Amino acid sequence: MMPPKPSTNVPDDPVAAAVAERLHASLVQSVAAAGGFLPFVDYMQAALYAPGLGYYVNGAHKLGHGGDFVTAPELSPLFGETLATWLAPVLRDDLGGGATLLEFGAGSGRLAGDVIATLRELRVPWQRYWIVEVSPDLRARQQAHLEATLAADEYARVAWLDHLPRAPLRAVVLANEVLDALPVELFRWREGRVWQVGVGVGADGTLTLAERPAPPTLAEPVARLQDAHGPWPEGYLSEWRPAQAAWVKGVSDCLRQGVAVIVDYGFPRSAYYAPERREGTLVGYYRQQMILDPLARPGLMDLTASVDFTGVAEAATAVGLEVLAYAGQGEFLLGAGLPQRFEARVGSGEDARQTLQAAQAVRMLTLPGEMGERFQVMALGRGCSHLPLDGIPDRRGRL
Ligand SMILES: C[S@@+](CC[C@H](N)C(=O)[O-])C[C@H]1O[C@@H](n2cnc3c(N)ncnc32)[C@H](O)[C@@H]1O
């Protein structure tokens, strides 16, 4: 995600402020119920997903211009068009037209709309588009967008799931900026051991960060990271995402045959846990501003941390998925057909303003200083041989 434009100083609306107050009270209770120390992973789970109160489930405006951040599908339809063009041979030749598209965390629904429109244009058949979305208000937003933009027979084939499909599918899976939204443990390396960072309540009733010796479930994986990528300096702060491997396994369990494309900001593990990255990657986004205090504005601010793509690859191979591709977003999009999609737009008689907007989006999506290098694309697959890999740099050796 990108902070889209300079911050504005608009006060929170009273409804949002009241929800945030209720979430704060509930967090204070949770800290007490946990004995005075709530592990950060539990805090993040509640701050983002506590029913009715968390950032992703309380109706606050989040995505796009005017929200808290802008994602690639919000920036331009070229993102979804390129992904659909790249995946078309898999849908047509590997999966034979009867495939499911399964999208996790579909945001405003734009990616789904752009993918479906491109498949229509390319005459690639698909059976159904399923969306797994934990946020009721984003689900409503997706429904409104797709009902307004898709043909009736296409919209009739879109459905929202409350849980992962039970029977394995022949499918293409999409997850753009979903893994970064899964809660993380926050830890510190101090005095030669791992400390779990969590949340306590100060004398004045405010939430404060606190530390305690990490339990083995956190200390052991983090000590392995330190052994492999340290020595870390005293006070080194970083994150570890316990739910990531289970998420990858869940995707694998859904996939009898197909490809899963994961796009997110992140690094290979050696870069993530490099000694120089002494403050980790956890940040908040609020009103288009990056906020470094993770306890600021619970319920009103998004919280996110980068993805350890080596961990994704390891979890995938452990459950029999092949890592088919791994590259930076910029080089990936350029090799996957973005220039051709852009040229087609320019040649289609768009006016100069639209062409300039599209050119600006291409820059944002691909330039190293924008989203081109910070975002990574990983394709995992099973039983597919038609993914067009020529032209996509192979960075799997960095994992
Ligand atoms: C940063 S937003 C990205 C939205 C969209 N993919 C985009 O790129 O614009 C994260 C999305 O993931 C969803 N999400 C978070 N955890 C999820 C999970 N476990 N399963 C499915 N969706 C999830 C959120 O509700 C939200 O829609």
The pLDDT tens digits of the residues spanning 204-213 come to 999 999 999 9
Query: Is the pLDDT score of 344 beyond 80?
Result: yes
Judge if pTM exceeds 0.85: yes
Alpha carbon 312 to its chain's center: 13
What does DSSP say about strands 193-201 and 283-286: parallel, antiparallel, or unpaired? Answer: unpaired
**Distance between Cα 112 and ligand 1 center (Å):** 13
User: Rounded to whole angstroms, how far apart are CA atoms 229 and 242?
Assistant: 19
Decide if 148 contacts 140 (C-beta within 8 A): no
Q: 107 C-alpha vs ligand 1 centroid, how far in Å?
A: 6
| Nearest residue by C-alpha to atom 5 in ligand 1 | 107
| Domain 72-181+244-261+307-385 top-level CATH class | alpha beta
CA 8 to chain centre: 25
Distance 203 CA to ligand 1 centre (A): 35
Taken in order 50, 255, 78, 97, the sign of the CA dihedral is negative
Sign of CA dihedral 95, 142, 252, 87: positive
Q: Which two tokens stand for residue 270?
A: 């050696």
- From CA 231, how far away is CA 215, in angstroms rounded? 21
What are 301-328's pLDDT values in tens digits?
Answer: 999 999 999 999 999 999 999 999 999 9
**What digits encode the pLDDT tens for the residues 208-265?**
999 999 999 999 999 999 999 999 999 999 999 999 999 999 999 999 999 999 999 9
CA–CA distances in Å: residue 88 to residues 30, 84, 116, 171, 312: 47, 6, 11, 12, 24
Report pLDDT for 68: 72
Strand partners, 389: none
Q: Tell me: the pLDDT tens digits for 15-54?
A: 778 888 999 999 999 999 999 999 999 999 999 999 989 9
Each domain of the chain, given as residue ranges in start order, spans: 72-181+244-261+307-385
Q: What average pLDDT score do residues 115-121 get?
A: 97
Over 90: is that where the pLDDT of 118 sits?
A: yes
- Is residue 112 within 8 A of residue 83, CB to CB? The reply is no
- Ligand 1 atom 23: the closest Cα is on which residue? 105
Side-chain-side CA neighbours of 276 within 13 Å: the count stands at: 2
CB 394 within 8 A of CB 379: no
Query: Of ligand 1's atoms, which has the minimum distance to the CA of residue 74?
Result: 9
User: What residue type is assigned to position 37 of the chain?
Assistant: F
d(CA 345, CA 44) in angstroms, rounded, equals 41
| pLDDT for position 6 | 40
Mean pLDDT, range 354-361, rounded to an integer: 91
Ligand 1 centroid to Cα of residue 105, in Å, is 3
279 Cα to the center of ligand 1, angstroms: 25
Using CB distances shorter than 6 Å, the residues near ligand 1 are 1, 56, 63, 71, 73-74, 104-107, 132-135, 138, 176-178, 181-182
